[in-house]
Amino acid sequence: MKKIVSLATAALLFAAPVMAQDKAPAEILNVSYDIGRELFAQVNPVFAAEWKARTGQGIEIKQSHAGTSRQARSIMEGLQADVVTFNQFTDVQVLADKNFVAKDWQKKFPNNASPYYSLPAFLVRKGNPKNVKDWSDLVRADVKSVFPNPKTSGNARYTYLAAYAFALEQNKGDQAKAKDFVKKMLANVPVFDTGGRGSTTTFVEREIGDVLITFEAETNGIRREYGDKGFDLVTPSLSVLAEFPVAVVDRVATKRGSQQVAQAYLTFLYSEAGQDILAKNFNRVHHPKVQDRYKAQFPSLKLVTVEDVFGGWEKATKDHFAEGGILDQVFVNR
Amino acid sequence: MTAVAIHAGPARRVKARRVLPGFGLAMGGTLLYLAIIVLLPLAALLLKSAEIGPEGFLRLLASPRVLASLQLTVSAAALATLFNAGYGLLMAWILVRYEFPGKRILDALIDLPFALPTAVAGIALTALYAQNGWYGQILEGEAGIKVAYTIIGVAIAMAFTSVPFVVRTVQPVLEDIQPDVEEAAATLGAYRGAIFRKVVFPAIFPAYLTGCALAFARSLGEFGAVIFIAGNLPFKTEIAALLIFIRLEEYDYPAAAALAVVLLAGAFCILLVTNAIQAWHMRYRMKG
Amino acid sequence: MAADAAFHSAPAAASPSRLPLILILLGVTLTALFIVAPVVVIFTQALSKGWATYVAGILQPDTLHAVLLTVVVAIAVVPVNLVFGVGAAWLIAKFEFPGKKLLLTVIEIPFSISPIVAGVTYILLYGGQGLFGDFLVEHDIQIMFALPAIFLVTLFVTSPFVARELIPLMQAQGSEQEEAATTLGAAGWQIFWRVTLPNIRWALLYGTILCAARAIGEFGAVSVVSGNVRGETNTLPLQIELLYHDYNAVGAFAAASTLTLLALLTLAVKAWLERRIAH
Number of structural domains in chain A: 2
Q: Which of C79, C136, C229 sits opposite A62 (nearest CB)?
A: C229
Residue A4, pLDDT above cutoff 50: no
Each residue's pLDDT tens digit, B200-238: 888 899 999 999 999 999 999 999 999 999 877 777 888
Residues of A in contact with B233 (CB under 8 A): 189-192
Helices then strands (H, E): number in chain B?
16, 0
Which chains share 3+ C-beta pairs under 8 angstroms with A? Answer: B, C
Residues of A in contact with C142 (CB under 8 A): 78, 80
Average pLDDT over residues C53-60: 93
- Same domain? For A223 and A127 the reply is yes
* B42, amino acid identity: L
Give 3-state DSSP helix, strand, coil % of chain A, rounded to 5: 50, 15, 35
Is there a contact between B215 and B80 (Cβ–Cβ < 8 Å)? yes
Which residues are within 8 A (CB) of C162 and not within 5 positions of it... i.e. 6 or more apart?
C81, C82, C84, C85, C86, C89, C204, C207, C208, C210, C211
Each residue's pLDDT tens digit, A239-287: 999 999 999 999 999 988 999 999 999 999 999 999 999 999 999 999 9
Interface touch A206/B130, C-beta < 8 Å = yes
Nearest CA-CA distance, residue B202 and chain A, Å: 45
Residue B83, pLDDT above cutoff 60: yes
- Same domain? For A160 and A281 the reply is no
Domain for residue A146, yes or no?
yes
Residue C3, pLDDT above cutoff 50: no
* A286, amino acid identity: H
Each residue's pLDDT tens digit, C229-266: 888 899 999 999 989 887 788 999 999 999 999 999 99
Compute CA distances A188 → A37, A139, A145, A326, B64, whole Å: 29, 7, 6, 17, 20
Nearest CA-CA distance, residue A205 and chain B, Å: 8
Half-sphere exposure (Cβ direction) of C267: Cα atoms closer than 13 Å = 20
* B171, amino acid identity: Q
* Angstrom distance (rounded) from CA A128 to CA A233: 9
Where does residue A171 rank: exposed (0-12), middle (13-18), buried (19+ CB within 10 A)?
Answer: middle
Contacting B residues, span 229-258, partner chain A, CB-CB under 8 Å = 231-235, 242, 245-246, 248-252
Each residue's pLDDT tens digit, A306-328: 999 999 998 999 999 887 899 98
Compute CA distances B75 → A118, B6, B144, B239, B263, whole Å: 42, 54, 22, 10, 14
* Angstrom distance (rounded) from CA C152 to CA A256: 25
Helices then strands (H, E): number in chain A?
16, 13
Q: What percent of chain C has pLDDT over 90?
A: 61
Collapsed DSSP state (helix, strand, coil) of residue A305: coil
Give pLDDT, residue B8.
Answer: 37
Q: Which of B93, B106, B117 sits opposite C217 (nearest CB)?
A: B117
* Angstrom distance (rounded) from CA A81 to CA A74: 9
Q: What angle do CA B274, B276, B278 make, to 5 degrees?
A: 70
pLDDT classification of B15: cutoffs 50, 70, 90: very low
Name all contacts of B191-196 with Cβ < 8 Å and 24+ positions apart: B191/C7, B191/C8, B191/C10, B191/C11, B191/C12, B192/C7, B192/C8, B192/C10, B192/C11, B192/C12, B192/C17, B192/C19, B193/C7, B193/C8, B195/C12
Nearest CA-CA distance, residue C181 and chain A, Å: 26
Domain for residue A39, yes or no?
yes
Residue-averaged pLDDT of chain C: 89
Interface touch C244/B98, C-beta < 8 Å = no
Bridge partners (DSSP) listed for residue A61:
A28
Average pLDDT over residues A218-237: 89
Q: How many CB pairs under 8 A join B and C?
A: 293
DSSP structure class, residue B131: T
| Complete domains list, chain B, with CATH | 28-286 (1.10.3720.10)
Give pLDDT, residue B183.
Answer: 74
Average pLDDT over residues B8-29: 66
Among A157-166, B264-273, C29-38, C149-158, the least confident range? B264-273
Closest CA to C256 of C61, C60, C39, C36: C39
Is there a contact between C166 and C203 (Cβ–Cβ < 8 Å)? yes
Among A8-12, A14-18, A109-113, C230-234, the least confident range? A14-18
| Number of CB atoms found within 10 A of residue B164's CB | 21
Domain for residue A10, yes or no?
no
Note whether B90 contacts A: Cβ–Cβ < 8 A: no
- Same domain? For A164 and A281 the reply is no
| Number of CB atoms found within 10 A of residue B239's CB | 29
Domain for residue A220, yes or no?
yes
Domain for residue A12, yes or no?
no
Nearest CA-CA distance, residue A125 and chain B, Å: 16
Each residue's pLDDT tens digit, A63-101: 999 888 888 988 988 889 999 999 989 899 999 999 999
Contacting C residues, span 45-74, partner chain A, CB-CB under 8 Å = 65, 68-69, 72-73
Q: What does chain A come to in residues?
A: 334
Domain ranges of chain C: 1-46, 50-278
Q: How many CB pairs under 8 A join A and B?
A: 69
- Same domain? For A156 and A286 the reply is no
* Angstrom distance (rounded) from CA A311 to CA B236: 33
Residues of B in contact with A331 (CB under 8 A): 65, 234-235
Compute CA distances B210 → B61, B75, B204, B282, C66, whole Å: 29, 19, 10, 13, 37
Each residue's pLDDT tens digit, A135-146: 999 999 999 999
Residues of A in contact with C49 (CB under 8 A): none
- Same domain? For A75 and A47 the reply is yes
Residue of C30, C35, C80 to mutate for B, most B C-beta atoms under 10 A = C35
* C270, amino acid identity: K
- Same domain? For A142 and A200 the reply is yes
Closest CA to A195 of A154, A134, A144, A246: A154
Is there a contact between A231 and A124 (Cβ–Cβ < 8 Å)? yes
C50-278 homologous superfamily? MetI-like (1.10.3720.10)
Residue A294, pLDDT above cutoff 90: yes
- Beta strand A26-32 with A59-65 is parallel
- Structural domain that includes position A285: 27-116+243-297
DSSP string across C78-89: HHHHHHHHHHHH
Which residues are within 8 A (CB) of A268 and not within 5 positions of it... i.e. 6 or more apart?
A43, A47, A50, A274
DSSP structure class, residue A120: E
- Same domain? For A161 and A308 the reply is yes
Classify the C-alpha dihedral C56-C59-C61-C62 as positive or negative: positive
Q: Which of A12, A76, A197 sits opposite C76 (nearest CB)?
A: A12
Closest CA to B232 of B244, B220, B218, B216: B244
- Same domain? For A219 and A282 the reply is no
- Same domain? For A99 and A167 the reply is no
Average pLDDT over residues C88-107: 92
Which chains share 3+ C-beta pairs under 8 angstroms with C? Answer: A, B
Q: What does chain B come to in residues?
A: 288
Nearest CA-CA distance, residue C269 and chain A, Å: 27
Give pLDDT, residue C220.
Answer: 93
Note whether B254 contacts C: Cβ–Cβ < 8 A: no
Give pLDDT, residue B52.
Answer: 84
Give pLDDT, residue A24.
Answer: 37
Higher pLDDT, A329 or A3: A329
Closest CA to C88 of C68, C107, C65: C107
* A128, amino acid identity: N
Note whether C191 contacts B: Cβ–Cβ < 8 A: yes
* A110, amino acid identity: P
Bridge partners (DSSP) listed for residue A121:
A214
Is there a contact between B117 and B157 (Cβ–Cβ < 8 Å)? no
Domain for residue A315, yes or no?
yes
Contacting B residues, span 29-48, partner chain A, CB-CB under 8 Å = 29, 32-33, 36
- Same domain? For A109 and A142 the reply is no
Give pLDDT, residue A192.
Answer: 81
Is there a contact between A124 and A223 (Cβ–Cβ < 8 Å)? no
Residues of B in contact with A152 (CB under 8 A): 246, 249-250
- Same domain? For A145 and A182 the reply is yes
Is there a contact between C170 and C94 (Cβ–Cβ < 8 Å)? yes
Each residue's pLDDT tens digit, C219-236: 999 999 988 788 889 999
| Number of CB atoms found within 10 A of residue A102's CB | 17
Each residue's pLDDT tens digit, B139-180: 988 888 889 889 999 999 999 999 999 999 999 989 888 777
- Same domain? For A184 and A307 the reply is yes
pLDDT classification of C185: cutoffs 50, 70, 90: confident
Average pLDDT over residues A113-141: 96
Domain for residue A186, yes or no?
yes
DSSP element (H, E) containing C253: helix C249-278
* Angstrom distance (rounded) from CA A132 to CA A143: 8
* Angstrom distance (rounded) from CA A332 to CA A324: 9
Interface touch A79/C145, C-beta < 8 Å = yes
* Angstrom distance (rounded) from CA A93 to CA A60: 27
Interface touch A206/B64, C-beta < 8 Å = no
Classify the C-alpha dihedral A234-C247-C53-C37 as positive or negative: negative
CATH number at residue A322: 3.40.190.10
Give pLDDT, residue C14.
Answer: 47
